[in-house]
Amino acid sequence: MRDDLRRELARWTEEGLARRMRRAEGPPGPRVRVESRELIMCASNNYLGLANDPRVAESAAEAIRRFGTGASGSPLLTGNTSLHERLESAIARWKGAEAALLFHSGYAANLAVLSSIAREGDAIYSDALNHASIIDGCRLSRAGVAVYRHGDIGDLAAKMADQGAGRALVVTDGVFSMDGDIAPVPDLLRLADPRGAWLMVDDAHATGVLGEDGQGTPDHFGLESGRIPIQVGTLSKALASEGGFVAGSKTLVEYLRNFARPFMFSTALAPGAVGAALAALEIVRSEPWRRDRLRKISCALRDGLTDLGFRVAPGVTPILPVWIGDAGLAVEFGRRLEEHGVYAPAIRPPSVPAGGSRIRLTLMATHSDEDLDRVRRAFAVVGRELGVIS
């Protein structure tokens, strides 16, 4: 058995796919000490710079003092507190929904929704580039799963043409985590609604980031968020904490409370995480300059890298995939960037398709202009050294 695992690992390593965990020595700010070297952090989901904000930290500390370090029980038994309910109401109001429910991660929220509301005989229509937690949720549901081509409304419509009698659900990332592009949410809604299918949008990367009020992709398109029947999100990215949520109708939330196993059989979120998210949510809404700056620097760096000759997917999100292709070359690119003080590791299969390896940059509102200039210059040098640009 052990030899078997060892052989598999050896093959994985040979293909250049083995993973190694890095060790950071502080909070995920724009500059981070990684294994004793100071680097510009370009791989964090701390989009608005709130994971190291003293107001958020103080709110977490206060929540721990008042409610304890652990919730110490499932929300259905003893783990639910007035603090949890405050956060659920705040999220529901923000997302224009009747109600919201907290989970211990965004991953769990996706498993919970998909595995409980879709069953054998139902149909799930899932974008080809959806997050792994959506794929796993689809598998758990035992529903029939039709994967439509990425962002392709025509392909989705064709697949929905032979929809059966069961429940139907269309599910998509709001912002795609590896490509940084935005799902055509209004088109998806126009297609799903008249066919009696629910639309589920996982706005993990858009929550706090897109839209005037940071509500996410619906807000970005000028659509009322409440029109999306199932809104999933995470507290672990722009909201600077940990945990996931689902916002929707009171009926949906009541249903999940009764049937979603990842909710029922897991301890409620730790009060510190809830306290941090409550403070972060307030700042997300009261300091729109963070969103504005993030968008501005994301567009500027995209332009800068494109001008140097890199293939960067266009867009306005803070996720910038810089196409390299070969997995080994991408890893070497990431290693050399680090020598120039930039932390932006390669993304390889299975996170992306074979041949689609890339450097994936993520930016923070708190990156300085100097940080961004150093990043651009590092790409120029390494890109020429490795022949990715001329």
Ligand X SMILES: *Cc1c(COP(=O)(O)O)cnc(C)c1O
**CB hemisphere CA count around 174 (13 angstroms):** 28
Cβ-based nearer residue to ligand X, 96 or 106: 106
Nearest to 278 by CA among 250, 231, 243, 247: 243
Cβ-based nearer residue to ligand X, 229 or 244: 244
Single residue of 95, 205, 348, 358 touching ligand X by CB under 6 A: 205
Identify the helix (H) or strand (E) that includes residue 39: strand 37-41
- 10 Å Cβ neighbour count for 345? 19
Q: Report CA Rg, the chain.
A: 21
- Verify binding: residue 348, ligand X, rule CB under 6 A: no
Cβ-based nearer residue to ligand X, 205 or 360: 205
Interstrand relation of 168-173 and 123-127 (parallel, antiparallel or unpaired): parallel
Annotated active-site residue 205? The verdict is: yes
Which residues ranging from 117 to 156 are in contact with ligand X (CB under 6 A)? Answer: 131, 133
CB of 89 to ligand X, least distance (A): 20
- Verify binding: residue 204, ligand X, rule CB under 6 A: yes
Which residues ranging from 239 to 298 are in contact with ligand X (CB under 6 A)? Answer: 244
Which residues ranging from 155 to 184 are in contact with ligand X (CB under 6 A)? Answer: 173, 177
Residue 289 in tokens = 């300059």
Residue 151 in tokens = 């962002």
- Verify binding: residue 317, ligand X, rule CB under 6 A: no
Which residues ranging from 78 to 107 are in contact with ligand X (CB under 6 A)? Answer: 105-107
CB 201 within 8 A of CB 183: yes
CB 220 within 8 A of CB 206: yes
Annotated active-site residue 340? The verdict is: no
Catalytic residue among 84, 95, 131, 205: 205
**CB hemisphere CA count around 223 (13 angstroms):** 19
Annotated active-site residue 36? The verdict is: no
By Cβ distance, which residue is nearest to ligand X?
106
Single residue of 225, 236, 298, 357 touching ligand X by CB under 6 A: 236
Cβ-based nearer residue to ligand X, 177 or 317: 177
Size of the site for ligand X (CB under 6 A): 14
- Could you tell me which residues are beta bridge partners of residue 358? 323, 347
Catalytic residue among 59, 105, 133, 177: 177
Cβ-based nearer residue to ligand X, 53 or 179: 179
- Tokens 């729109």, residue? 288
Query: What is the rounded CA–CA span in Å between residue 29 and residue 46?
Result: 8
Spatial CB neighbours of 61, under 8 Å, sequence gap ≥ 6: 272, 275
What residues line the site for ligand X (CB under 6 A)? 105-107, 110, 131, 133, 173, 177, 202, 204-205, 234, 236, 244
Catalytic residues: 177, 205, 237
